[in-house]
C-alpha cells in the first residue's frame, strides 16, 4: 500500500507512478484466439464440441447437449433457497426500473427551411451475453448484462457460459431465467465468442456481444469487433473513496476491501483531507483483512495496488480523481453531491456515508458493468444504450430541397462528386 | 449489376450471395501497424517526422512544422470563394442545430425505498479527429466529425490529416476553422493514430479517436482501442433506394450513382415493386453514367456490386432492407414515413421524392458518418453520444440502505464475496 500526501515534494512523481503502474500482464493470445475463431467458423458445432472437451474437461456428445435445457434450469431454480431467490427478484426489479428510466426518446425536429429532421432509436435484434465460469460466475452479472437488453426490447438474448467439468452454478441459471435470457449454452472462451459472432448450425449469430471474460475472451471480442458490436474490454476493477474524518474508519476499510477482494489486480484508493483518519482507515484495513475469507487475494491487492492519499482540500481530491477516472467512486463527505459535481470522470458514483459500493453491485439499480482502468475518461457503464442503435432521418419537401439544395451542390462540386451534385440539381427547378 | 426478383425461384440464393459478397479485400496490415505504433510510442515527435518523410513524401524539419499554423489557415480561408464559404456556413449551422437537439438529459430518479438513482452525462476532455488526405479529403467530413464534439462540450479537438507532398486542401482547413478544431497536425496513417492515442512531446494524447481512414488507419484504431475510445471501423459505403413507379427514373439513377461514385467497393441497390420502373431506372443509370466525371469508378461499382430487386409488395422490401441493414436508405413512395416505420435497420433514412441522400452528405443536418457493411444492425451514426460518457450515481440514506441492504448481503454471500457483504452489514443496525 502506498501512502502519499499532496504536501510532499515527491507527490507528483509518486502519483504518476501509481497512475501508470501496470496491474495486469497483457497476455499475448492473439494467434491462439485467431486459430480458435477460424476453427469454429470452419467447423461449426463439431468444432465447439471438440474445443469444449479440450478446454472445459467435459465432452457433450451432440450439439443439442451444449444447450442447457429448460428442465435443467427448472431443477436448478428449485434448488435455490427461497430467500436468495427473493433477493435476486428484488435486485432484478430495481435494475429493470432504473434501466427503463434510461430509455431515450425519439427526436423529430421541424426545421425553418421546410424539412423535418429526426432520430429514431430501435433495439438490436439479438444480443450475446458472455458469463465467465468457475470462481467468477456471478449471478448478479447475469442480471446486469441481460436486463438492459430485455428492457431495450432486444428480441433474442443468448448466453454462453463455460462449465468446467460440466458443472453449472444454479443461481446463475436462476438469474438467467429471471432476467429473461432465451438460450443458455455451455460453451466458453474464445470459441463462445466465435460462435456468437459467426453462428454455427445450432447457435444463430448475434449482433452484439457483452459481458466480461478472461484474456482469451477479451482478445476474441477484439477480433470479432466489426462483424458484431462489443462492449468495452473489461480490465481489473478499482474504487476511489473520498472520505472525511467524520466517517467510521471501519466502514471505509470494508469498502476498500470489497474492491480488493475481487482479484489481486484490483485497486482500492482512499483520498482524505485528514491525516489521522488516513492512519485509522489504514489500520482498520489490516484489522478487517484478518476476518475475510478472501484475505489472501484482498491483502495482495491492497499491498500491491492500494493507496491512501492525503490532500490539502477537496479541490485537490477532485482533480486527482479525474486523473484516476475510477470505475467506482464513493463520496463520503458532508455534501457529497457538491463534491461529485466537481468530478468529471468516474464510471459510477456512490454518494453519502450510507452508500457502500457493494449496494451498487447488487441491489441499487444502476449497472455494475463499468469502465475500468481509467477508461471512464471516455467509456460508460452498460446500459440500454448498448442495446439500441439510432437511425437519423430527413424528410424534405420540394421547398425544403430548394432552400438547402444549392449549398449541397456547391459543396459536392468542390469535393469533385458530380453525381452527388447532379442528384440534387436535377430536382431543382 | 444484378437483376433479381423475389418472384423468381432462385431469388433466395441470389440475394444471399449479394449479402455475403465481399466488396473489399481485408488487407493484413496488423504487423506493419503494430511496428509503427511501437516506433511512435518509443520515438515520439522524432518518429513522426521520420514516418511523415517516408510515407507522405515531405520532410518537416521540426515537430513545430508538423502543426498547421493559424496564419496558414488564415491564408487558406482567404483563398476560398465566398459562396463556397457561405455554403460551408449553412451546412455547419444546420449540423450544429441538429446535434444540439440530440443532447440527452441527465436523470435523477427518486426511489420508493428512500434512495435516489441518477445518470449524468459529461463530455470527453479531448477528441482526436482523423481526416484522410489525397482524393478523399472531404471538408464536409471535417464538419461532421468535429461539430458533434464541439456541441457536446469537448474541451480540445485535435485533427490529424496526411498531406502528401505537403499539400493541404484549403477548404478542409476552412471547415476545421468553422467547426472549431483547436489543433491541426499534418500527420497521417497509423502514425497519426499512435500519436493521438499515446501522445508525443508535441501532441497531447486524446481520449477518443474518430474519423475514417485507409486499412492502416482502421487497423491502428483497432490496436489502440481500450487505451482510447474509437468510432466504428468504416467500410465501403452503400445505399438502398425504395422507389415506386411514380418516381422520375432519372432521379433514382442519379441517387444510385451518387453512392457508386464514392469508390469501386460502394454498393447501390434499387428495390421497387414495378418491373417496368426497374428497367427504366437501370437504363437511366447507363445514360447518366456517360456524363459523370467519375464514370470509371461509378461504373465499376454499379457493375460489380449494384443491384435492382423487384418485389411483390413493400413488406418484402422492408424485410430485404433489414437484411441489408444499409448505411443509407432512401424511401421514395407515396407514404414514406409509413414504410420507414416498417424497417428496423438503417444508418440514415431520406424520406420522400425530394430528398436525395446527397442532401444528407452536406446540408441536411444529421451526421453523414454512418455504419457501413451491414453494421447498422448494431451500430449508429456519429453523434453527440460519441462525445459524451455517462456516470451513474446512487445516493442512499440510512433508511434506504436498510431497505435494500439485506438482499445485497445475501447475494454477496452467495457469490462468496465476504467484504462486499460486510461493507453493507456493518452499516445495518
Please indicate if any CB of chain A lies within 8 Å of the CB of B348.
yes
Burial of B26 (0-12, 13-18, 19+ CB in 10 A): exposed
B328 is annotated as contributing to ligand binding? yes
Does domain B2-24+235-365 bear CATH number 3.40.50.1980? yes
Q: What integer best gives the mean pLDDT of chain B?
A: 94
CA distance A61 to chain B (A): 31
Q: What percent of chain B has pLDDT over 70?
A: 99
State the residue for C-alpha cell 465467465.
A132
> Where are chain A's structural domains?
2-23+235-365, 30-107+123-230, 397-425
A251 is annotated as contributing to ligand binding? no
A145 is annotated as contributing to ligand binding? no
Report the interhelical angle of A398-414 vs B82-102 (nearest 10°): 120
DSSP string across A202-258: SS---SEEE----HHHHHHHHHHBTTBEE-PPP---EEEEEE-TTS-HHHHHHHHHH
**The three cell numbers locating residue B51:** 514516418
pLDDT in tens, chain A (429 residues): 999 999 999 999 999 999 888 887 766 788 999 999 999 999 999 999 999 999 988 888 888 889 999 999 999 999 999 999 999 999 999 999 999 999 999 999 999 888 999 999 999 999 999 998 865 679 999 999 999 999 999 999 999 999 888 888 899 999 999 999 999 999 999 999 999 999 999 999 999 999 988 889 989 998 998 899 998 777 788 999 999 999 999 999 999 999 999 989 999 999 999 999 999 999 999 999 999 999 999 999 999 999 999 999 999 999 999 999 999 999 999 999 999 999 999 999 999 999 999 999 999 999 999 999 999 999 999 999 999 999 999 999 999 999 999 999 999 999 999 999 999 999 998
Among left, alpha and beta (phi > 0; psi -120 to 50; other), residue A325 is left
Pairing of strands B107-110, B115-123: antiparallel
CA distance A360 to chain B (A): 8
- Distant-in-sequence, close-in-space partners of A385: CB < 8 Å, separation ≥ 6: A102, A104, B385, B390
DSSP string across A66-90: GBPPHHHHHHHHHTS-HHHHHHHHH
Closest to A352 (Cα-Cα) out of A331, A376, A373 = A331
Closest to B176 (Cα-Cα) out of B189, B188, B159 = B159
Please indicate if any CB of chain B lies within 8 Å of the CB of A57.
no
Pick the CATH number of B30-104+123-230 from 1.10.150.120, 3.90.70.10, 3.40.50.1980, 3.40.309.10: 3.40.50.1980
Does domain A2-23+235-365 bear CATH number 3.40.50.1980? yes
Do B144 and B95 contact (CB within 8 A), yes or no? yes
Question: Which pLDDT score is estimated for B136?
Answer: 63
DSSP code, position A104: P
The residues facing A103 across adjacent strands are none
A30-107+123-230: CATH topology? Rossmann fold (3.40.50)
Q: CB A394 to CB B349 under 8 A?
A: yes
Q: What is the pLDDT of residues B103-121, one digit of tens each?
A: 999 999 999 888 999 999 9
Question: Which pLDDT score is estimated for A134?
Answer: 64
Q: Annotated catalytic, B398?
A: no
Do A346 and A376 contact (CB within 8 A), yes or no? yes
Do A301 and A260 contact (CB within 8 A), yes or no? yes
Q: What is the pLDDT of residues A306-354, one digit of tens each?
A: 999 999 999 999 999 999 999 999 999 999 999 999 999 999 999 999 9
Q: What is the pLDDT of residues B37-85, one digit of tens each?
A: 999 999 999 999 999 999 888 888 888 889 999 999 999 999 999 999 9
**The three cell numbers locating residue A211:** 459481458
Question: Which pLDDT score is estimated for B295?
Answer: 96
What span, in angstroms and rounded, lies between the C-alpha atoms of B162 and B52?
Answer: 8
Q: What is the pLDDT of residues B250-284, one digit of tens each?
A: 999 999 999 999 989 999 999 999 999 999 999 99
Q: CB A356 to CB B427 under 8 A?
A: yes
Q: Report the residue from A208, A352, A396 with minimal CB separation from B359.
A: A396
Closest to A128 (Cα-Cα) out of A140, A143, A145 = A145
Q: Annotated catalytic, B327?
A: yes
Q: Which of B96, B219, B327, B357 is catalytic?
A: B327
Amino acid at each position: 500500500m502506498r501512502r502519499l500526501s499532496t504536501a510532499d515534494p515527491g507527490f507528483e512523481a509518486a502519483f504518476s507512478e501509481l497512475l501508470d503502474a501496470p496491474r495486469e500482464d497483457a497476455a499475448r493470445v492473439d494467434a491462439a484466439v485467431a486459430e480458435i475463431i477460424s476453427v469454429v467458423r470452419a467447423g461449426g458445432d463439431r468444432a465447439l464440441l471438440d474445443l469444449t472437451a479440450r478446454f472445459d474437461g467435459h465432452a457433450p456428445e451432440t450439439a443439442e447437449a451444449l444447450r442447457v435445457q429448460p428442465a435443467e434450469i427448472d431443477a436448478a431454480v428449485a434448488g435455490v433457497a427461497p430467500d436468495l431467490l427473493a433477493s435476486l427478484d428484488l435486485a432484478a426489479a430495481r435494475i429493470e426500473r432504473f434501466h427503463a428510466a434510461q430509455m431515450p426518446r425519439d427526436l423529430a425536429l421541424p426545421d425553418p427551411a421546410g424539412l423535418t429532421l429526426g432520430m429514431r432509436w430501435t433495439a438490436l435484434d439479438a444480443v450475446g451475453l458472455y458469463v465467465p465460469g468457475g470462481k467468477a460466475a456471478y449471478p448478479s452479472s447475469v442480471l446486469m448484462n441481460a436486463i438492459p437488453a430485455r428492457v431495450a426490447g432486444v428480441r433474442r438474448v443468448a448466453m454462453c457460459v463455460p462449465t468446467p467439468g460440466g458443472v453449472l452454478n444454479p443461481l446463475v441459471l436462476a438469474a438467467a431465467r429471471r432476467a429473461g435470457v432465451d438460450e443458455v449454452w455451455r460453451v466458453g472462451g474464445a470459441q463462445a465468442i466465435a460462435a456468437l459472432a459467426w453462428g454455427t448450425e445450432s447457435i444463430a449469430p448475434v449482433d452484439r456481444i457483452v459481458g466480461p471474460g478472461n484474456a482469451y475472451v477479451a482478445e476474441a471480442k477484439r477480433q470479432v469487433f466489426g462483424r458484431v458490436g462489443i462492449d468495452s474490454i473489461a480490465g481489473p476493477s478499482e474504487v476511489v473513496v473520498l472520505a472525511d474524518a467524520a466517517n467510521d474508519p471501519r466502514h471505509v476499510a470494508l469498502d476498500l476491501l470489497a474492491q480488493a477482494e475481487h482479484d489481486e489486480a484490483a485497486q482500492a484508493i482512499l483520498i482524505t483531507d485528514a491525516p489521522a483518519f488516513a492512519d485509522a482507515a489504514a489500520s482498520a484495513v489490516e484489522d478487517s483483512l484478518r476476518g475475510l475469507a478472501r484475505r489472501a487475494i484482498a491483502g495482495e491487492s491492497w499491498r500491491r495496488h492500494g493507496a491512501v492519499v492525503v490532500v490539502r482540500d477537496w479541490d485537490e481530491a477532485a482533480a486527482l480523481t479525474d486523473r484516476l477516472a475510477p470505475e467506482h467512486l464513493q463520496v463520503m463527505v458532508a455534501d457529497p453531491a457538491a463534491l461529485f459535481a466537481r468530478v468529471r470522470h468516474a464510471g459510477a458514483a456512490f454518494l453519502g456515508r450510507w452508500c457502500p459500493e457493494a449496494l451498487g453491485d447488487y441491489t441499487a439499480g444502476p449497472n455494475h458493468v463499468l469502465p475500468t482502468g481509467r477508461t471512464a475518461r471516455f467509456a460508460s457503464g452498460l446500459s440500454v444504450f448498448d442495446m439500441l442503435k439510432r437511425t437519423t432521418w430527413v424528410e424534405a419537401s420540394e421547398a425544403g430541397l430548394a432552400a438547402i439544395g444549392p449549398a449541397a451542390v456547391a459543396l459536392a462540386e468542390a469535393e469533385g462528386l458530380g453525381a452527388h451534385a447532379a442528384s440534387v440539381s436535377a430536382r431543382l427547378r
